[in-house]
Amino acid sequence: MKWSLRILMLVIATLVFTLLLFFSTLALLLALLRWLITGQKPSLTMHTNAYQQWKNTTSRRHRTSYHTDDVIEAEVREVPRDSNRLP
């Protein structure tokens, strides 16, 4: 009984994987065919390019926001350890 259940589960998993692979390959082929006919890029490519552009703009913005020319002068005071209250 145990081995027949394992074989049945293996067959079901194989069928699901085969169907998933078949439909994803079919969708890819249809997207490539549409790209050849209409000249429009597939939407996945457009989303990937938009994400990479967004990532590049945010990384550039963080790099340029820091100015090393600014100098901040501050007075340093020592706070006693036994004082737990604010001034």
Q: Is the pLDDT of residue 84 over 70?
A: no
- 42 neighbors 53 (Cβ within 8 angstroms): no
Separation CA 77–CA 60 (nearest Å): 37
Q: Residue 42: its pLDDT value, please?
A: 73
Separation CA 1–CA 82 (nearest Å): 75
Mean of pLDDT values over 56-62: 67
Q: State the pLDDT confidence band at 52, using cuts at 50, 70 and 90.
A: confident
Q: Is the pLDDT of residue 47 over 90?
A: no
Q: State the pLDDT confidence band at 67, using cuts at 50, 70 and 90.
A: low
Residue with tokens 């457009």: 46
Mean pLDDT for all residues in the chain: 81
CB atoms within 10 A of CB 47: 10
- 32 neighbors 43 (Cβ within 8 angstroms): no
C-alpha torsion 2→3→5→8, nearest 10 = 180
